[in-house]
Structure 1
């Protein structure tokens, strides 16, 4: 096989892997939307106002929690693991985790403020429960499918 065919094969594999991942993320997002809408029993009017607010929160949450946490764990791996960190580095990392938790709390406070008047306080509480239940359900489905969310 010549080099062009190998490169083309690698490129094709990369593209299909990216598309499959994107499709998987879209499926999960659609499932979450349906799950939360049903759990909160949102009316059409509520849903029109709720989803832009919730999607903005969700995007901010992902940036705060997943991106920042991922960066910290990468830093730990680069150092060779937790045991290889100096006490000073460990203190700094611990402060970063506390800061992340504080930023998540601020994002949740903003969500509560933004949703007040859009949905009732009871539905906001139901949202917190629905998010936990969705995450549990998603994890259960993932485990039952052997880690492959693309299986039907």
Structure 2
């Protein structure tokens, strides 16, 4: 069976499985959903980018490293920042504490920007610029598709 036909089928199966999860602990559920979304994204990007085997061999290790670091910056570091941004905490925060928190947020955003910049620079060595732009578009399309699925799921409740 052609890989291009297999990935959409895999995508659909994972989508149905993604919505069938209810009875696990919150952390396990989050990790499982993250893995399912990651698998769906890999399938989607594979289909959209149409990488040669040589390109795929070089692309996926770089992408996986980037994705893991990006997740850490977005979720792990920001988790602590958002906890401090609760309404009850904000009212008690001094100007000095708020300035320090704002600096942490800016540093994290700068780290994300630099990570993405380095990732694109690394891609330039293995993919033509057109495929890098296709990758950027595919990422945006995947995000929109995932958001639409989330909205559709919420509307059914």
TM-score of the aligned structures, taking structure 2 as reference length: 0.74
Matched, 1:42 2:51: yes
> Given the alignment, which residue of 98, 110, 123 partners 1:115?
123
Matched, 1:61 2:70: yes
Q: Map of 1:3-152 to 2, 5 A cutoff?
A: 21-77=30-86, 80-146=88-154
Relative contact order: is structure 1 or structure 2 higher (C-alpha 8 Å, sep ≥ 6)? 1
Q: How big is each residue's C-alpha offset from its partner over 1:113-152, in whole Å with a ceiling of 9 and x where there is no partner?
A: 221221112211222222122111111101211299xxxx
> 5+ unaligned residues in a row in structure 2: which ranges?
1-21
Cα RMSD over matched residues? 2.5
8 Å CA contact 1:76–1:85 kept in 2: the answer is: no
Cα deviation for residue 64 of structure 1 reads 1.0
Between Structure 1 and Structure 2, whose CA radius of gyration is higher? 1
Q: Residue 16 and residue 62 in structure 1: after superposition, are their counterparts in 2 closer, same or farther (change >3 A)?
A: closer
8 Å CA contact 2:84–2:90 kept in 1: the answer is: no
8 Å CA contact 2:45–2:138 kept in 1: the answer is: yes
TM-score of the aligned structures, taking structure 1 as reference length: 0.76
8 Å CA contact 1:40–1:123 kept in 2: the answer is: yes
8 Å CA contact 1:64–1:100 kept in 2: the answer is: yes
Q: Residue 84 and residue 133 in structure 1: after superposition, are their counterparts in 2 closer, same or farther (change >3 A)?
A: farther
Q: Corresponding residue for 1:4?
A: none
Bigger drift between 120-129 and 96-105 goes to 120-129
Bigger drift between 13-22 and 80-89 goes to 13-22
